[in-house]
Each structure stands twice: as structure tokens, then as C-alpha cells.
Structure 1
Amino acid sequence: MAVVSFVSAKGSPGATTTAMLSAALWPAPVLLLDADPAGGDVAARWPAAGGGVLDAERGLLPLLTSARRGLSAEQVLAQVQPASGGTPVVCGLGSPEQAQAAERSWPSLAAAVLDVARGASGAGATDVLVDGGRLGAHPVHLPLLRESAAVVLVVRDDVAGVLHARERLRVLAGALRRGDGLLPRVGVVVVGDLQRGDADGSARVLLEVGEWVEDFGRLPLDAAGARVFDGARTARPERTALVRAGRTVVQVVAAAAAGRARSAA
């Protein structure tokens, strides 16, 4: 099984929604890890199983606090809570200051998360989906992204979003390169008005960065569909535009994660 990270280059193009949607639709055992260094949103948005809210005090903060002494897969799994629908979730941090204070702990967390994916805890292998939030100039969670089998860059279909994503992709070729010289599979998901067809043009611009950049698909701007993750009652959520398009995107990303890493350009 594998680690898959969802990130953005600027603003709020929908990386968290895409990560939650993917976790809900994933075709294999899955765990969602909220690892946004700016502070996590999953606990605030996704209700707990059976109603109520997820416990924001459980999750990434106690893991990073303990990581200086090393972390195990069992410790990561001990922080799991079931979200609505039964998806296992590890809640995120409360602030960027917490992420920076624990900067030296991220490599230990990355190793433990990889062990979770491999089934080292004895609980069985599971794919770990990571909400990595916005990629800044010096992302403290880079060790976690490097261990990913696939990194999904979620991009809003507008001029600013595409330009920032293109520059971030150029940096990622070097930043994500592992010791063996390989890159995770890196691809883009463009979020926009799919009826206009502009998203295809945006994707082509981003694919020109290099042959190692892949097209993972499109998602619509579907506020009603996204509100499902905010606890809103939606009749037949499986029929929303977001879920219908999401099924195709998830299939593509899951297949990429199951494939081999690519040689860096």
C-alpha cells in the first residue's frame, strides 16, 4: 500500500476537499492524515461518526511531540478517529507555529506513516492519504511528501492559480527527489467550471513543465457537493457533480500510486 499527498500552490483551490473526497471514495483500505503545516481543517469540517465533532486534541500534535524519540506505526494508529461514513482520520495541527516548532520531528513522522502503509503494525496494510495543504517556500512536511508514492497538486482554474502551480511544479522536481534519484508520481487535478472546457487548457500549460508531470483529471466547482463534508444533509450525495467526477479522479490517482516512481528529469 502507499502514501498519497494532496497539496496546493496558492490560496484554497480545494486540496482539503479533494483529499476528503478521495478518502471517502478510495477503492482500498485507507486512512486520512491531516498534515497541513498551516493548521488542519479536516476536524472542523468533517463530522465524527455517529454525529458530533472529531477530537482536535487527538492527532498530529501528540505525534509530532513524541516523534523526537522516534515514532511507530502503532502510535500513529492510536490517534485515529472515525469520521462520518467510517473513514479513519488523524486530525491536524491547530496553527503553523506548532508545525514550525516540531520541524525536526517530521522525518520520524514520515517514516512511521510509511510503516502504517506497509502494515508494519500488524493491523494490515492501508493506503494513507495526506492533506498537505499549501506548499510554501520551505515546507516543513517535505519528508512526508518525499515518502509519497504520488503527490497530487490541486489547482484552481484561473490565471493566478495556474501560474503559481506552474512555478511550484518547477521547484518540486528537485525538492521531491529521493536519495535513490526517483520522484513520486506527480500530477495535477484542475478544479473549475467543467462546462466551459478551460480546465483542459490549464492542464496543458502545467503538463508543459516536464514529462514527469501527469494529468490526474478534473473536478467541478460544486459547493453543494463539498458541503457533505461539512455535515450538511444532501439527498443522494453520490449523484452530485463532485462525487461523479471524483470517482474518475480517484481511480486515476490510485492507479498512479500503485505504479512505480519516475526518474527525475
Structure 2
Amino acid sequence: MKPAAFEYHAPVDPEETVALLARLGDEAKVLAGGQSLVPMLALRLAAFGHLVDLRRVKGLPGIEHRGGVVRIGATTTQAAVERSDVVRDAAPLLARATPLIGHFQIRSRGTVGGSLAHADAAAEYPAVALTLDARLETLSPRGRRTVPADRFFTGTWSTDLAEDELLTAVALPVWHRPRGFAVAEFARRSGDFALAGATVAVGLGPDRRIDRCAIAVFGLGPVPCRARAAERELIGREPTTEAAGDIADLAVSGLDSVPADLHGSAGYRKRVGAAMVARAWRHAVREAVHD
């Protein structure tokens, strides 16, 4: 099939872009990498009167590490993240999640901002942003603002962005060492969206006990979810893999919006999610202990 007719716009700077979005209102849709939007348009699962292409907008791509933060511009491709030594050294969790996104052809076009703004509940980048306490930078005709990741994702394919607001970058705080990171997910085939997944980050204090911990699950609800109760239980403990099963059970115990479909029941997804938490926890703890 072919998409419904639309008018194409190619602004060249962020201010022009948000002015265009403000003028066009809900008839406009931002086009970043297009790896999710274009298939939806082609299948006529979505239709918009105007597409605003970000490819020519200056200042949106780029990766920099400064002041204890890794800042990644919204139109930076996933392939660029995958190749980046800066990301690999300062934000390892993002580096490890990136190869799990589709196939390399998709990552060569898909963008960081596109994935975050699309807010698919089974996507890796929203879970990574939530785990690392990322801050999302935006621009609108009213000015700039910063939104914490735990307030950015509001529902399935839904975010805190206003109609005239553009996601410009994501800022990821760098964790102190020793630290460990891991991502684990289960998909029926390589490149498919995950049925369930988990991201884990562990930081150790001077006494080699856990002084910082973040566990997030994705594919188990309308938005990625932090396992706050499990995190609180782990602070101050010795880093060990022995209790991985108990940690995993606690991490998924409070989930009440787990989807059920032809790929699996809600109970099945929760069991898979718990297994992914346990797997990621073991890897992250081992890395932190040896860091």
C-alpha cells in the first residue's frame, strides 16, 4: 500500500521546526529516521496532512561527553551510537542495548530521538533512558525545557511532548566506578521486538556495597517501568548473584498492566520478564565486582 497524501516540509533549524509545528498543529508529524512511522503510513495505520523531516535541521545530531554527562542529539543515528567510543566508555548500557534494535539496516536510519519520542513499550532506548535517569531536552515556541525520563513516557506511543514541541537531545549521567550494566531481552527471532526485557545498572561504594541500583523492565506494560521496591531492598547490600531469582520476582511483582496477545499470556510475559531481570542482574553484578 501507499501512504495517504501529505505535504512535505524540510526545515533547516530547530526554531523554524517548532514554529512550523505550532502553525500546523495536530495535522503535522515529525519524521526522524522513519523506521516506525513510514511503515505505519504505508499500511495506513496512521495518516497526517504534513510531515516535518528533521534530516536537514542543524544542531540535532552529535555525541559529546562533558561535565559528567553524555549528551546525544535527537537525530543521531543508532548506528552512530553503536560505533561511538564515547558511548561505549561513558554510557555502556546504551551501547549494549543498541545492537538489539532491529537489524543494522534499521539502525543505520533509526535515530535516538525517534525511538524515544515514538515511545514503544517494547523498545530498548526508553528503558535505558529510564534506568540511567536520563533527562530529555526539548524545544518549543515557548522556549527550552528538560523532562526527567520517569515523566517523559506517559503511555503506549505517548510522551509528555506537546504538539509544537521538539525533542532535541537526551542527556545521560555518567555513573561512578565501580559499576556494572546489563540488558537482557527475549524475542522470538533476532531483530523482533522483545516480548519482555530488562535493563540493570549497579554502582558500588567505597565499602564495595551497593550504593546505587536501577532496574527497569520493558514490554510488560504501556511504558517501561522501574522496579523501585527491588532497588530499595538492594541498597547497602553486598553485590551477589545468589539472590537473583528473588530480586527478579520482586521486580515484576507489582506489574498490573502486562499485555496478553497471540505471543503470550500476561503470566507468561511476567515469567519471561523475571528471567530477564535475573539474567541482567547477574551480568551487571559480575561486572561491578570486577570493575
Which TM-score applies when normalising by structure 1? Answer: 0.28
Of Structure 1 and Structure 2, the greater strand share is in 2
Structure ranking higher on relative contact order (CA contacts 8 Å, 6+ apart): 1
Looking at CA atoms only, which structure, 1 or 2, has the larger radius of gyration? Answer: 2
